[in-house]
Structure 1
Amino acid sequence: MKTYLPLLLLFTFSFIYSQNKSGIATYKLQIAFDKDALEVDKKYGYLQKAIDICNDLEYKLVFNKNEANFFQEENQKLDIVATNMANILSETPKISYQNIEQNILLSELKADGILIQQKEFLIKEDLKINWTITSESKLIDNYLCYKALTTKIVYKGDKGFNENVIAWFCPTIPFSFGPTKYSGLPGLILELQEKNIAFTLKSLTLNDNDIVKIIIATAKKTISQTEYNDIVKTRMETLQSMSKQK
């Protein structure tokens, strides 16, 4: 991890809330696409539906010192198709489990009834992320946050491209977690920005005891992200082949 923020400052901040042992952060989701993408989507309107429903969605990060869960708070009153599309675009699983001591991320996927069955796969990844911490800062809900940068690989066909990811973390809240799969910073991530999506803090509750319940995600089979991508690709090709035969 590269850092341009004085380490003494980070350590000083981390002691301020050292008495807190757990917490719950609630995030709201924002999705944005350019006019060209929305024009292509006009026939079905899936992107626009996902954008519109964001105002009613809430995402929870439940954490203690070493573990965390991230998930979308279920709301049966909301449109299922639009909700699922928002979760796909933001890469939010049914529930994720992070353990910084074991350096693992487990993601239980939502069943779609076509490609993925209920509790069929659990994706296991390393938590390690190469962050560059900058001295740029801003206030989020009166918390002083600092900007950290990393990249992720996005595939278009068989080609992979690097996309920038920006995290705003608060050193005075010394928990190394954040939305979706992002972690490893010396403070809680209060805002996460990717190309088309952003998670921003809506509310935060900190506790001086370990009262939050952390769930370890489970499924029938544990696989890597690469293995999962290959399975989905194969199943999609099979469906397309069967459709052409009808």
Structure 2
Amino acid sequence: MKKLPLKIVLLFTVLFASSNLFAQDFQGKAYYVSKTTMDMDEWGGRDMSPERKKQMMERMKSFLEKEYVLTFSQVESIYKEDEKLEAPGAGRGFRMGGSMTGGPKYKNVKTKEVIQDQEFFGKQFLIKDELKTIEWKMGTETKLIGQYTAFKATATVPVDRFDWRSMRRSNSDDEKKEKKKADKDSVKSTNTDITKSDDPLSEIEVPKTIDVVAWYTPQIPVNQGPDNYWGLPGLILEVNADRTTILCTKIVLNPSDKETIEQPKKGEVVTQAEYTEIITKKMQEMREMYGGRNRGRRGH
């Protein structure tokens, strides 16, 4: 009879040892730090001095580095930003994404429901949709995160086309040639159509999928996790997704003051597909406004 690998035995031991510790009314809080890296050279910073780059990164810090709290039970969770009082001037001069502010995100792993509180250009939305299943590939690699033994899992997930965290600049040689040609054609043309050179978003692209590495602990046997991530046999403590890392820094189990996990309720209810259509239309309006101003300048 073949012996089971030691790490598989460890996994089952941890699972069985933890299963009796969590009653139906169990609740916990996990605190996360989210950091997204940005290459300044990719966004026109090649000619900046090191001091200027440092200043820009400091201004963007409050946007690229955030703290979140995940309040979770066996079935439900709510993930929201742990907002801090900023120092005077912090974050000024950088408003990317400021008109698309994400609020609390509610997940129910039993009903497979996700609800995102979302602000878009001053209007409040409630994006209600099905909680998408993530096809995780389970690994046997482990590491310690704090006092918890975490196991590795990987997946390939689709990316929302308006997810700023995975946005990058299209700067291939072919695209540069195409842009130069479009610029020449737009000068010669009297056509009122918007050319690619008029479009401020034409040089931005988002990959269709990204590879994700997650680390979860069976010592907390709930299939919850930060942001959109869930579906593993233990709380997800760390996520590495493209340019973003989400890391758990603190866990409180069965706090004395339990918090009611409530669904967000304010805003116009839409599906994810409907919300994407709303954003697409708004972006089109902005393209037309931008293109109109450019044509006006060329006409003088």
Give me the TM-score of the superposition, normalised by structure 2: 0.66
1:217 and 2:264 correspond: yes
Alpha-carbon displacement from aligned partner over 1:70-110 (angstroms, at most 9, x marks no partner): 0111234254668975899xx98301001111011111113
- Please, which moves more after superposition, 169-178 or 70-79? 70-79
Q: Return 5+ residue gaps in structure 2 as ranges.
A: 1-6, 162-166, 168-203, 294-300
Inter-CA distance 87–186: structure 2 relative to 1 (3 Å threshold): farther
Note closer, same or farther for the CA distance 1:69–1:25 as it changes in structure 2 (3 Å cut): same
Tell me the equivalent position of 1:62: 71
Find the partner of 2:86 among 72, 77, 81: 77
Quickly say closer, same or farther: Cα 1:76–1:166, change in 2 above 3 A.
same
SS in 2 for 1:120: strand
Percent identical residues: 24
Gaps of 5+ in 1: none
* Structure 2 CA distance for aligned equivalents of residues 138 and 87 of structure 1: 36
Q: Deviations over 1:206-235 (max 9, x none)?
A: 007782221202244333323222210111
- Partner of 2:220 in structure 1? 173
Name the aligned partner's letter for residue 209 of structure 2. Answer: N
- Contact kept in structure 2, 1:176 and 1:183, CA below 8 Å: yes
**Paired position in structure 2 for 1:153:** 158
Aligned ranges 1:225-244 → 2 under 5 Å? 225-244=272-291
Superposed, which structure 2 residues align to 1:89-238 within 5 Å? Answer: 93-113=102-122, 117=123, 119-154=124-159, 155=161, 161-207=208-254, 211-238=258-285
Superposition CA RMSD, Å: 3.6
Q: Is the 8 A contact 2:154 2:214 kept in 1?
A: yes
Q: Give the total of aligned pairs.
A: 237
Choose between structure 1 and 2: higher strand proportion. 1
- 8 Å CA contact 1:177, 1:183 repeated in 2: yes
Does residue 27 in structure 1 map to residue 32 in structure 2? yes
Provide closer, same or farther for how the CA distance between residues 49 and 82 of structure 1 changes in structure 2, counting only shifts above 3 A: farther
Whether the 8 Å contact between 2:29 and 2:70 is mirrored in structure 1 is: yes
Aligned AA (1:14): S
Moved more, 38-47 or 52-61: 38-47
Question: Contact (CA 8 Å) 1:31, 1:197: kept in 2 or not?
Answer: yes
Shift of 1:41: 9.0
Bigger Cα Rg = 2
How far, CA to CA, are the matches of 2:254 and 2:121 in structure 1? 36
Q: Which residue of 2 aligns with 1:14?
A: 18
Q: Secondary structure at the match of 1:180?
A: coil
Q: 1:28 to 1:187 in 2, by over 3 A?
A: same
Single out whichever of 65-74 and 150-159 deviates more from structure 2. 150-159
Contact 1:28/1:54, CA 8 A, preserved across alignment:
no
**d(CA) in 2 for partners of 1:244 and 1:101?**
47
* CA gap 1:181/1:56 in 2 versus in 1, 3 angstroms: closer
- Counterpart residue type for residue 241 of structure 1: E
Separation of aligned partners in 2, 1:41 and 1:53: 23
User: Normalising to structure 1: TM-score of the pair?
Assistant: 0.79
AA paired with 1:205? V
